Structures are given as structure tokens and as C-alpha cells.
Structure 1
Amino acid sequence: MTENTTPVHAGAQRAEAHDDDALALAHELFQAAREGNSALLGAYLDAGAPATMTNAAGDSLLMLAAYHGHAGTVGLLLQHGADANTANDRGQTPLAGAAFKGYPDVARVLLGAGADPDAGAPSARAAAQMFARTEILDLLG
């Protein structure tokens, strides 16, 4: 019979290193969404990363891509199961973010995926009215 000489804390260190790796990957994915890096994001989504991932503020990958004006990345995330109507912790939806920032191409993609222009607070419709985003208001009908 041999004695286990592995220190008890070694397992905790491995778990902590794994957590650090997971956090680094999550940060990389959120940054890819902000930057519209569809190639990187798509590779991870294809490998099983969840398109519904959210950060500490409740911002989804989709919210970040929409807010930063990346219509192609928004479409990619929707194809991988992101929900067009998921609000962040402040009640803002990706469509409201696109309306606030004035991205009609992003709004079109989200509306095509069933985004509700009256969801959230403020809603996309209210944000478009507040900031005189006439092209987006026209899309909202």
C-alpha cells in the first residue's frame, strides 16, 4: 500500500487554474462580440460555447455585438441560439441597444429574428423616438 503524497491543496489549485482559464476564455468571447470578430466567436460557438452567455451585468454576447454595430456577428449569434429578446440586468434588449446607437442594419437582423420593438425599458421604439432614429423607427413600423 502506497501513501498519497499529493498535498491536499493541489486539487484546489488545479480548480482555481481551471476557473482562471474559463474566465479568460469568457473575457475573450465578450471582447470578440464587442469587436465583431465573427471568425473567433464562430469557432468557439461551433465547438460548443453557449451563444447565450452573459457577463456580470447581464449583457449577452448578442447585446454586446448589437450595441457595437456588428450585424454579421449578431446574425451568427442568432444562428447559434441566442435569443433576440434577452434583456440585460437593466432591462435593455439588443434591439434597444441598436436603436440607441443608431444601427439600422443590426435592427433589421434582430427584427428578422423576432425581436420585439416594445420589449425592455426603455424599449427599442422608445429609444428610437428619444434619439430621433428615424430609419429605425421606420423599420419598427
Structure 2
Amino acid sequence: MRIFIGAVLACLSFSVLAEQADPAALKAQLQDYYFDAARRGDVDMLNTFIESGYSLNTQDEKGYTALILAAYHGEGAYVDRLLAAGADACVQDKRGNTALMGAIFKGELKIAQRLLATDCNPDQRNGAGQTAAMYAGLFKRVELLDELKAKGADLNAEDAIGNSASRLASGEIRTPAPR
């Protein structure tokens, strides 16, 4: 019986060593933990990543960073901690959206105001040519629109189909012409 238990433990040890030997799998698992913590707002887990020197601007397959995910999911304390630790609020996902755009879209106004205090260009555009001000106008986030304007956002800048923040705020929405 001892030989059998010893053999099972040896097999388990080898499988654990084999899993640990794959750096790509370890990296993927760490990223999963990191992004899951952002979605849940697990600041204790974030602090562990920060203390270990983990890259705070790591992006997933869609280009999302922990800051983008935390802003989108309304995790204000997580957003604050990431920014205090040096996360870049200007990073764009693969569609060009930023954490600020995600916060405005979801109606996370306090988080959006915190992100407005960063050094990002207020007229930063996504892949469709839209700005954070356009999101604020579209979703009637008037207070944020005023703050974006005070920060220098061009409320008359247009996207590819002619929408501007000021037009969107007044309810005028242009859509692409039918093909």
C-alpha cells in the first residue's frame, strides 16, 4: 500500500512540476486572476500584484486593462488604487476605447470624474472616431460634458458620420447611410 501511495504522490508531483514548467500557462493564469480581481474590485489581490511588480497595463485579448475593466464594472476603490500605483488611464483597448469611455458608457460618474483628473487628452478618439465627450453627450451625462469642456475637449469635433458631442447632447444622432 505504501508503494501505491508513493507512486500516486510521485505522479502528482510530476504533473505539478509539468504545469509549473509552462511559462505561457502560468502567465495566462496570472492574467486571469488579475482581470478577475479587477472585475470584482478585489483590492487585496491587486495589492499583491502591485507588490510583486506586475505590469499594471497588461492587456487581455480584447485589449482591456484592469483599469478599463474596473471602471466599466464600477469598482471605484480599485480604479483609485490602480491610478495611485501608476496605471496608465490613456491606454486604449483594441477598439480604441479608454477606461473613461467605459465609465461614461456605464454611468459610473464618480469613476469618470476620477479618470478626468488624469493627464489623458480629452479629445482622445476610439476606432470609430468618437471621443469621451461624445459618449457624455449621447448618454446625457451633462455634468461630465461640462467637465470635459473645462478640460479642453472640443465639443464640436465630429466622428466619421458627423456626430459631435454638442449634437448628441441635444438629441441629434446621425447614423450611417444604408448601403
CA displacement at 1:132 relative to structure 2: 1.3
Aligned to 1:98: 103
Within the candidate set 83, 90, 101, 1:85 is matched to: 90
Which residue of structure 2 aligns with residue 68 of structure 1? 73
TM-score (norm 2): 0.66
Segments of structure 2 that go 5 or more residues without pairing to the other structure are: 1-16, 150-179
**Number of residue pairs the alignment of both structures matches:** 130
- CA displacement at 1:14 relative to structure 2: 5.4
Q: Which residue of the partner structure matches residue 63 of structure 2?
A: 58
Assess if the C-alpha contact under 8 Å between 1:45 and 1:80 holds in 2. Answer: yes
Tell me how far 1:93 sits from its aligned partner.
0.8
Of residues 120, 134, 144, the one that matches 1:136 is 144
Are residue 39 (structure 1) and residue 44 (structure 2) matched?
A: yes
How much has 1:139 moved relative to structure 2?
2.8
Match of 2:115 in 1: 110
The 4+ residue runs of structure 1 with deviation greater than 3 A are 11-15
Local SS of the residue matching 1:106: helix
> The residue matched to 1:127 in structure 2 has which SS?
helix
1:127 Cα deviation after fit = 0.7
Q: Which of structures 1 and 2 has the larger relative contact order (alpha carbons within 8 angstroms, sep 6+)?
A: 1
Give the deviation of 1:138 after TM superposition.
3.0
Contact 2:19–2:25, Cα closer than 8 Å, also in 1: no
Cα deviation, 1:75-124, whole Å, max 9, x if unaligned, reads 11112221111111101011111111111111121112223332122211
RMSD after superposition:
1.9
| Offset of residue 12 of structure 1 | 8.0
Q: Which has the larger radius of gyration?
A: 2
Distance, in Å, in 2 between the alignment partners of 1:115 and 1:72 is 20
The 2-side partners of 1:96 and 1:14 are apart by 38
What's the offset of the Cα at 1:24? Answer: 1.2
**8 Å Cα contact 2:124/2:132 also seen in 1:** yes
Unpaired stretches in structure 1, ≥5 consecutive residues? 1-10
